[in-house]
């Protein structure tokens, strides 16, 4: 362990939702929820105003709507999130050559390796300057934690939220960690937390008091050793630059075992959609689909299927996960489900989209045979096929020939409602158009900071 708090952890505050609020003046200070808006959609990020109502990440969108019916519900705009992330990562790279991104909005930085800090005072100054630079460049806020290890720096940034900075001084770690919940430690999820609780262990100090042998007995050798070391504030993991992502996955542990096969199938489909959201958010695709099932007796099964090439198509991932589930016996009950994608690449094999369409067609062979021309999207019997109705995702940018830049508030029944405003304007007016209005078109997002827009000639 270091003798100075020179490992920094940055976590942008409610990143997706904050970007939407900065982009849309009418939503500032209001509840905003970003995620999939379909029947099986889940929350990607909720603004702090929405969290007051109990909305949080990974919650089913239907439940979020019940808790906060008056919130703004928006479809993610991953393009602008990636652009902002790149701006932030460049600021981190200016501090040190050792930057370890964990996601679009989160990273570790070794300040000592870059000469940006060598003691508590210099580390605090570096953290404060970073937060100011992020606000100036992106218009958003981030929380910073500083400590002598990665684990403690992450705990510090969580304490700093929102829009703060916390330093954990070396030598104070045990006293700080002691009264905290066991769930504070990395790798302690709901299932492990519940297992420890049944053994009478609910705080980090109680983990330390239980001793290493008892933890190994409860959790197994690898997990028990690691958890005991963390409870003693021991974490020697280095900050690793250009950390390679080997897989993208999501999983849920259920308080009550799921026995209904239909419900299990729906959960797998929902997890597949969440996995694809993360995959696309990282700008990746993958060719191996992995299903993880932990049964009622804690036995864990994994099944995988490798496709012809990498994909980020939700239909392909859902269908592969469903096929894998067919080979798993879930009659005794399921306590955990997970869907992952490995064999990652930064491109997509286009013919997999054709594969998905072919699989869909195979499920309804008679319909495809009766209307082959409709399947191909060409004229049939001399009648032109009407063009598909344009999609107007809620929250996405548009431009109108007369009214200028705006964003979609909602659409349906052949109408689309648009609020015309920019990141640098006052809250704008709302107008409604036909979905086929030729004067309205989808547009690229505007930078959140006017100076950036000016420098581009916008």
List residues with catalytic annotation. Answer: 106
Interstrand relation of 397-400 and 440-442 (parallel, antiparallel or unpaired) = antiparallel
CA distance linking residue 2 with residue 148, whole number of Å: 5
Q: Would you call 307 helix, strand, or coil by DSSP?
A: strand
Contacting residues for 366 by C-beta, under 8 A, at least 6 apart: none
Helix (H) / strand (E) containing 33? strand 32-35
CB 342 within 8 A of CB 247: yes
Q: What is the DSSP letter of 27?
A: G
- CA proximity to 1, closest of 242, 213, 243, 230: 230
Q: Would you call 309 helix, strand, or coil by DSSP?
A: strand
Each as own residue / partner, the long-range contacts of residues 27-34 (CB below 8 Å, 24 or more positions apart, any chain) are: 27/72, 30/71, 30/72, 31/55, 31/68, 31/70, 31/71, 31/72, 32/71, 32/72, 32/74, 33/61, 33/64, 33/68, 33/71, 33/72, 33/73, 33/74, 34/74, 34/75, 34/76, 34/395
How would DSSP label each residue in 50-68?
A: HHTTT--TT-BHHHHHHH-
CB 123 within 8 A of CB 95: no
CA distance linking residue 455 with residue 265, whole number of Å: 50
Contacting residues for 335 by C-beta, under 8 A, at least 6 apart: 191, 253, 254, 257, 258, 294, 295, 296, 298
Extract the tokens encoding 236: 């020697």
C-alpha separations of 215 from 182, 194, 205, 224, 300 in Å = 13, 14, 13, 5, 21
CB 436 within 8 A of CB 34: no
Q: Would you call 455 helix, strand, or coil by DSSP?
A: helix
SS3 content of the chain, % helix, strand, coil (to 5): 40, 25, 35
Place of tokens 């008091």: 209
CB 15 within 8 A of CB 104: yes
């Amino acid at each position: 362990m270091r003798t100075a708090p020179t490992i920094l952890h940055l976590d942008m505050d409610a990143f997706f939702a904050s970007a939407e609020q900065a982009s849309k003046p009418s939503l500032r200070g209001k509840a905003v929820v970003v995620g999939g808006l379909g029947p099986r959609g889940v929350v990607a990020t909720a603004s702090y105003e929405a969290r007051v109502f109990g909305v949080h990440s990974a919650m089913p969108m239907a439940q979020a709507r019940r808790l906060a019916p008056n919130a703004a519900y928006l479809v993610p705009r991953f393009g602008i999130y990636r652009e902002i992330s790149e701006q932030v990562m460049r600021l981190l790279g200016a501090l040190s050559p050792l930057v370890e991104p964990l996601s679009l909005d989160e990273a570790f930085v070794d300040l000592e390796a870059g000469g940006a800090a060598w003691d508590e005072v210099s580390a605090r100054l570096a953290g404060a300057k970073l937060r100011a630079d992020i606000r100036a460049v992106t218009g958003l806020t981030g929380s910073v934690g500083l400590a002598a290890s990665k684990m403690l720096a992450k705990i510090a940034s969580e304490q700093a939220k929102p829009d703060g900075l916390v330093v954990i001084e070396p030598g104070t770690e045990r006293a700080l960690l002691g009264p905290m919940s066991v769930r504070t430690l990395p790798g302690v999820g709901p299932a492990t937390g519940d297992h420890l609780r049944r053994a009478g262990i609910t705080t980090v100090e109680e983990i330390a008091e239980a001793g290493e042998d008892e933890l190994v007995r409860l959790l197994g050798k690898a997990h028990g050793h690691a958890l005991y070391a963390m409870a003693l504030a021991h974490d020697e993991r280095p900050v690793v630059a250009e950390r390679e992502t080997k897989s993208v996955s999501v999983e849920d542990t259920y308080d009550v075992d799921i026995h209904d096969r239909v419900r299990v199938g729906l959960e797998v489909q929902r997890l597949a959609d969440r996995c694809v959201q993360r995959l696309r958010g990282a700008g990746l695709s993958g060719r191996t689909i992995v299903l993880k099932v932990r049964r009622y007796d804690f036995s864990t099964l994994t099944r995988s299927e490798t496709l012809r090439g990498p994909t980020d198509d939700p239909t392909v991932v859902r269908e592969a996960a469903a096929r894998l589930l067919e080979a798993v016996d879930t009659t005794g009950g399921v306590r955990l489900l997970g869907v992952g994608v490995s064999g990652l690449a930064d491109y997509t094999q286009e013919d997999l989209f054709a594969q998905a369409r072919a699989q869909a067609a195979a499920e309804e062979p008679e319909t495809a045979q009766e209307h082959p021309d409709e399947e191909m999207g060409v004229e049939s019997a001399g009648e032109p096929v009407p063009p598909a109705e344009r999609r107007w995702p809620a929250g996405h940018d548009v431009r109108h020939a007369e009214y200028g830049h705006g964003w979609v508030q909602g659409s349906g029944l052949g109408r689309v409602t648009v609020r015309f405003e920019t990141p640098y304007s006052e809250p704008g007016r709302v107008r409604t158009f036909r979905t086929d209005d030729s004067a309205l078109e989808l547009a690229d997002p505007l930078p959140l900071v006017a100076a950036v827009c000016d420098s581009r000639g916008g």
